Amino acid sequence: MKKIIIIDLDGTAVDSPKQKLPSDRLVAATTKLQENYHVSAATGRVWTFAEPVLRGLKLVDPCIISAGTQICNPVTGEILWQKVISDDSLSRVIETFKQYPDWKLLHNDGTEDDYFFGGVYPEKFENEEPVYFLEQVFVPDEIAIEIHRKLSEVDGVTCVMVTAQKPGTRDLHVINSGATKEQAIEELLKLLDIEKEDSIGIGDGHNDLHLFNAVGRKIAMGNAVDDLKNNADEVIGSVKEDGLASFFEKLI
């Protein structure tokens, strides 16, 4: 029975935003590792944004995307599992974001350009389809913490605060409270018939605390936030040092 390794993408597999694709060394190590392990990703990125990295890594096992709200086939993009935000919870979240009107909202799928240049201000937000993933982007650190606190009082959703791809800012990911990385990994393990003790999780950010809760062995990158390092079984090299590739090479 194969074990599974579940990796974050940004700050773990790629040094985003300047590194768009995984290194040749990491791709080679991942390809070899998949002979004896399942290798999956668990990322806050939505499908279109995640696809180049997932395919660059040549992953074939189901992967978690959109902050834990979806499990996809990384080869075809087919959605295998999904949870949406209820209309009532979404309405309360939007009302909260309207108190902070200067930062744009994105929802569901989108490209890297959408992330950096797209979105709408809260007053203009409209949705014509169920929302599984909502985020307010590039919010200054102190304000993001304040919004996060308010959203924690909204029933039915979880707000995950992650480091944004602009210095001094954070993104706020709002998802169904039953669809964090933790719950999605539980679904992934069921899908592949793998026990928790046979799983390894590797990440760098605060949202990877959810990943750690769902796996048997916890690995933090050298560039990880202190909270994650303090909860890790092992700390490996940083993303700038290709620490994930080094770790994979030791397992081959």
Please name the residues in contact with 158: beta carbons below 8 A apart, sequence gap of 6 or more. 174, 175, 176, 177, 179, 180
Q: What is the pLDDT of residues 90-147, one digit of tens each?
A: 999 999 999 999 999 999 999 989 999 999 999 999 988 999 999 999 999 999 999 9
Taking domain 3-82+179-251, whether its CATH number is 3.40.50.1000 is answered by yes
Q: What is the pLDDT of residues 212-223, one digit of tens each?
A: 999 999 999 999
CA nearest neighbour of 136 among 146, 51, 43 = 146
Return mean pLDDT, the chain.
95
Q: What is the pLDDT of residues 19-48, one digit of tens each?
A: 999 999 999 999 999 999 999 999 989 999
Domain parsing of the chain, residue ranges = 3-82+179-251, 87-176
> Exposed, middle or buried: residue 3 (CB in 10 Å: 0-12, 13-18, 19+)?
middle
CA nearest neighbour of 241 among 201, 200, 204, 199 = 204
What does 111-161 look like in DSSP terms, one character per residue? -HHHHHH--B-GGG---SS--S-EEEEEEEHHHHHHHHHHHTTSTTEEEEE
Q: What is the pLDDT of residues 6-19, one digit of tens each?
A: 999 999 999 988 89
Structure tokens at 85: 């935000």
Q: Which CATH number, 3.30.1240, 3.40.50, 3.90.930, 1.10.3470, labels domain 87-176?
A: 3.30.1240
Q: What is the pLDDT of residues 135-189, one digit of tens each?
A: 999 999 999 999 999 999 999 999 988 888 899 999 999 999 989 899 999 999 9
Q: pTM for this one?
A: 0.87
